[in-house]
Structure formats: structure tokens, C-alpha cells
């Protein structure tokens, strides 16, 4: 029995029923993470990449009082075109409110994990998770994504945490919460637009099979929560830390003087960095998401035993 609030697309329902691999995809990256029309192009290409990788994509969003698991192209297009101010950015706190008032909502990493879990999807690919914001010692701005990784059993493939964050504190909080942070194929924790944050990742794995196995063993030990797989951006798409860091600093300063806070911080920073890099940061962002979709499909296939 699927949950009555879920509206599962036929292609996803069939894959789940047959035990075929499925990869969840989020929608905040579409509505609040990238500008129109590149956002639609990215959403379609990510889905195609998951399919080419041998898994079924399931983009998740809230529409018309239902949690949609898998969006047909018309819904994807409508969502991508809607101005971000008209779409709720959903985390654990707002998911039920959005369903109750019938509004359209885009799921962040946290909300996508909750919905994927309800649908029985164990793998989710995105760009970068939210984390501890710089200045958190006074603002206390810590993304609900971190708590979610500690409680919901979904393996999240991301290019690390976004470099706009305080990465050492983000890793500390993940450690406190008992979340396995697994760098893929290298020792360094990747920093979204660059491959190396200068920090060591707590754990390293080099194959999708190992990652699928550790998810299974975690469940069999009765440990709640998921895993964060930190997959470095491909070399040819990377913006070196020395180049992107001053741009991040500038965007952060502007956010501070404009009084940007709470849910508006990440979208503001991403779009300012896009402007300040003449679009290069967006190109990199799209390439790292595609790279994560490929690894997500491989992990989903291993989990499905294919």
C-alpha cells in the first residue's frame, strides 16, 4: 500500500513494483537553485542521464495537495517556469503545511529524502546539500538537511556541501549526528565547484557496490538515517578554490549588507555567484549534478541487485 498523499508516476510505480533501480531527484534545485530556462534543461538532462545509467528517475515536488513522485514533462516545465517567489521551498517543517494549503512546493534535500523514503526509494542524487552557514555561531543558521541525513534512510549523492558554507563546522555537525560522510574515489571532502575543500573526508569508498552494501548493513544494524556520498565534480568542470573563494566572499558580504536571511540565503548566493562568474558557476553546477546522477544510478542498480 502506497501512502495516500503520494501520486507516483506510472513509470516510477512500475519500476518500484518490479524492483528495478530508481533514483530520486529534488525540485528546489530547479525552482530556487538555477535560472529559467537552464533549470528546465538541467532537469530534463539529469533525468535522461539517470535513464542512460539504467535507472528510473523520480523528480519530486508537491503540487495540488499531493506529493508527486516522478514528474511528466508538462509538470516539470510548469515548475521550472514558475517564479521562485510563488513556490514554497520545502523542508521537514513545511511539507505538511504545503500539502494542507494546496500550494506548489519544491522539495529541498531534507524534504526529498522524506518523500523518497515514503515511496520506498533508497537513492537520491542532487548538487550539494545544505549545511552550517558561515557566521552560524551568531545566526544559528544550520540547514535541516543535516538532521534529515541522521534520521531518514536514503543515500544522498552530492558534490559535497556547497562552498558558500562553513565546511569544517558542517563536517563536525554531521559527525555529531552520526552521518557517514563518504568521499567517492578520493580522500578529500569535495567543495561543490572544486574537487578539494582542503579537508579530509571522514570516510572513503571507491565503488557503487561498497556504498550500496554499507547502506544495507546500516539498515540491518538498526541504525537510522542515511549516508552522504560526496562525489567530486569532474576535473574539466571544476572552478579552482583559489578562483571561486574570493567570489564567494564577495557574495557573502553582499548578502550580509542586504540583510538576506533564512531560506533566502542559499538562492541569493547561488545567483550572485552565477552573475559574478559570468555563468561559469552554473555550468559547473549542472555538470556536477549530472555526474552525481550517474553515480546515483550505479548505486541504485547495486541496491536492486542488477
The residues binding ligand PSU (CB under 6 A) are 26, 28-29, 32-33, 108-109, 126-128, 130, 143, 145, 263, 266, 270, 285, 289
Between CA 103 and CA 64 the distance in angstroms is 6
Neighbours of 82 (CB within 10 A): 15
Annotated active-site residue 162? The verdict is yes
Of 19 and 279, which has the nearer Cβ to ligand PSU?
279
Neighbours of 167 (CB within 10 A): 22
- Smallest separation, CB 14 to ligand PSU (Å): 27
Annotated active-site residue 243? The verdict is no
- Smallest separation, CB 243 to ligand PSU (Å): 18
Strand partners, 66: 63
Cell matching residue 96: 505538511
Of 145 and 166, which has the nearer Cβ to ligand PSU?
145
Catalytic residue among 26, 47, 148, 238: 26
- Smallest separation, CB 169 to ligand PSU (Å): 13
- Smallest separation, CB 148 to ligand PSU (Å): 9
Cell matching residue 35: 535560472
- Smallest separation, CB 154 to ligand PSU (Å): 13
Confirm or deny that 144 is annotated as ligand binding. yes
Confirm or deny that 194 is annotated as ligand binding. no
Neighbours of 101 (CB within 10 A): 10
Confirm or deny that 136 is annotated as ligand binding. no
Confirm or deny that 94 is annotated as ligand binding. no
Confirm or deny that 257 is annotated as ligand binding. no
Of 60 and 99, which has the nearer Cβ to ligand PSU?
60
> Which stretches does DSSP call E strand in 77-154?
88-90, 105-107, 123-125
Of 188 and 260, which has the nearer Cβ to ligand PSU?
260
Catalytic residue among 47, 56, 162, 238: 162
Instruction: Report helix, strand and coil shares of the chain as percent, to nearest 5.
Output: 50, 20, 35
Q: Which helix (H) or strand (E) holds 24?
A: strand 22-25
Q: Are 193 and 233 within 8 A, CB to CB?
A: yes
Which single residue brings its beta carbon nearest to ligand PSU?
A: 127
Q: 129 in helix, strand or coil?
A: strand
Between the two ends of the chain, the Cα-to-Cα distance in Å is: 25
Q: 200 in helix, strand or coil?
A: strand
Confirm or deny that 236 is annotated as ligand binding. no
Binding-site residue numbers are: 89, 109, 141, 143-145
Binding-site residue numbers for Mn(2+) are: 141
Active site residues: 26, 162
Binding-site residue numbers for substrate are: 89, 109, 143-145
Amino acid at each position: 500500500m502506497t501512502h495516500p498523499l503520494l501520486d507516483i508516476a506510472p513509470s516510477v510505480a512500475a519500476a518500484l513494483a518490479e524492483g528495478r533501480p530508481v533514483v530520486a531527484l529534488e525540485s528546489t534545485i530547479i525552482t530556487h537553485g538555477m535560472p529559467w530556462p537552464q533549470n528546465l534543461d538541467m532537469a530534463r538532462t539529469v533525468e535522461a542521464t539517470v535513464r542512460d545509467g539504467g535507472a528510473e528517475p523520480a523528480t519530486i515536488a508537491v503540487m495540488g495537495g499531493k506529493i508527486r513522485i516522478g514528474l511528466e514533462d508538462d509538470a516539470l516545465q510548469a515548475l521550472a517556469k514558475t517564479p521562485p517567489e510563488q513556490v514554497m521551498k520545502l523542508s521537514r517543517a513545511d511539507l505538511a503545511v504545503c500539502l494542507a494549503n494546496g500550494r506548489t512546493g519544491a522539495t529541498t534535500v531534507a524534504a526529498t529524502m522524506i518523500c523518497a523514503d515514503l515511496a520506498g526509494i533508497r537513492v537520491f542524487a542532487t548538487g550539494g546539500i545544505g549545511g552550517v552557514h558561515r557566521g552560524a555561531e551568531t545566526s544559528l543558521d544550520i540547514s535541516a538537511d543535516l538532521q534529515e541525513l541522521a534520521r531518514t534512510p536514503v543515500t544522498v549523492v552530492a558534490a559535497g556541501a556547497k562552498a558558500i558554507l562553513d565546511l569544517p563546522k558542517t563536517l563536525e555537525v554531521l559527525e555529531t549526528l552520526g552521518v557517514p560522510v563518504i568521499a567517492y574515489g578520493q580522500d578529500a571532502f569535495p567543495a561543490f565547484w572544486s574537487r578539494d575543500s582542503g579537508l579530509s573526508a571522514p570516510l572513503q569508498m571507491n565503488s557503487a557496490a561498497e556504498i550500496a552494501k554499507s547502506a544495507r548493513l546500516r539498515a540491518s544494524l538498526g541504525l537510522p538515517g542515511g549516508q552522504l556520498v560526496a562525489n567530486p565534480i569532474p576535473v574539466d568542470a571544476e572552478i579552482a578554490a583559489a578562483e571561486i573563494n574570493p567570489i564567494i566572499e564577495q557574495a557573502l558580504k553582499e548578502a550580509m549588507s542586504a540583510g538576506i536571511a533564512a531560506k533566502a540565503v542559499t538562492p541569493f548566493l547561488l545567483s550572485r555567484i552565477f552573475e559574478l562568474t559570468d555563468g561559469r558557476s552554473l555550468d559547473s553546477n549542472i555538470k556536477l549534478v549530472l555526474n552525481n546522477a550517474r553515480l546515483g544510478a550505479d548505486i541504485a542498480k547495486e541496491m536492486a541487485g542488477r
